[in-house]
Structure 1
Amino acid sequence: MMRTVRICALAVALTLALSGCQLMKRISEGAYRNAVADGTVAELAAHGVRMNRRPDCTTPATGNDAVVRIHCTGRTATGAKVVVTGGAVEADTAHPRESYVITVDGRAPLRKRCLGRGC
C-alpha cells in the first residue's frame, strides 16, 4: 500500500512538472475570475447594491494571450439579475488595460476601468 501511494505521488509530481505552464495559466485564470467576482461584489456594495453571493465567472477562450475576456452572472439580494462583461487587452504585459460593464436587471450600466476597493 505504501509503495502505491509513493508511485501515485510521483506520477502527480511528474505531471505537474511537465505541464507547469498550463497549470500556471489555469491558476491565473482562476485568480482572475475570483478577483473580478470579488470586485463586482465590492463595486456594487459601494453603490448600495448587495449581492446574495459572489457571481459565477467564466473566461472564454480568445486564442490570444494578450486578450482576456470575462463574463459573470449573479443575483442581488433582492433577486435582480447581475451581468458583468469585460476583460483586458495587453494582458501579457506589465500594464494590461482593463474595462468592465456591470448591469443590474439590464439597467444603466456601470462602466469601470477596474473593480473593487483599490480602484
Structure 2
Amino acid sequence: MRRLPPVVLAVLLALTMSGCKVMQRISDGAYRNAVTDGVVDELAARGIELQERPECESPGRETDSVVRVDCTAVTSTGEPVVVEGVAHDADTERPLESYVVTVGGREVLRKDCLGLGCEHPNG
C-alpha cells in the first residue's frame, strides 16, 4: 500500500478531528486546496492548461470516514473540466483516495493520488 504525501495525510488526518466545527471547515478547505493543486499539476503534466484554478466544493459528508470533493474548471481552449474525488477511511492513518478527471467529457485520468509526490500513477 502506498504512503500519502505528508501534506495530504496531514489534511486528511485533520479532517478526522472531532468536536470543533471551525477546525473541520478549515480542514475541508485545506483538502480542497490540496486537490486543486494536484489537479493543476496532473493536467499540466499532460499538456492541458487551465484558464484558472479549479473551483472545488466538498459536498456534505456521509460519515467521518468518507470525504468527497467535486471540482470544475475550463481549459485554455474552452473545454469543461470535471474532477470527482473521494477519500474512504479518512479517519484512519491510511485513507484510500480515488480521483477521476474528465476534460470535455473524456476521462483523462483515474488515479489514487494527485500531483507531486504521487508515487505510482495509474492514470
TM-score, reference length from structure 2: 0.78
* 2:100 matched residue in structure 1: 101
Give the letter for the 1:96 counterpart.
Answer: P
Contact 2:100 2:107 in 1 (8 A): no
Give the letter for the 1:80 counterpart.
Answer: E
Give the gaps of 5 or more residues in structure 1. Answer: 1-19
Which has the higher Rg, Structure 1 or Structure 2? 1
Residue 91 of structure 1, CA deviation: 0.3
What is the root-mean-square deviation of aligned Cα atoms in Å? 1.1
1:55-74 equivalences under 5 Å are 55-74=54-73
Q: Deviations over 1:41-91 (max 9, x none)?
A: 100001110111111101111230100011100001111100000210000
1:95 match: secondary structure: coil
Residue 115, structure 1, aligned to residue 114, structure 2: yes
Aligned residues: 100
In structure 2, C-alpha distance between the alignment counterparts of 1:85 and 1:102, rounded to whole Å? 7
In structure 2, C-alpha distance between the alignment counterparts of 1:108 and 1:95, rounded to whole Å? 26
Give the letter for the 1:53 counterpart.
Answer: E
In structure 2, C-alpha distance between the alignment counterparts of 1:46 and 1:73, rounded to whole Å? 18
1:1-119 equivalences under 5 Å are 21-119=20-118
Residue 109 of structure 1, CA deviation: 3.7
Give the gaps of 5 or more residues in structure 2. Answer: 1-18, 119-123
1:108 match: secondary structure: strand
Q: Deviations over 1:13-50 (max 9, x none)?
A: xxxxxxx7111101100000001111101000011101
In structure 2, C-alpha distance between the alignment counterparts of 1:34 and 1:66, rounded to whole Å? 19
In structure 2, C-alpha distance between the alignment counterparts of 1:109 and 1:45, rounded to whole Å? 12
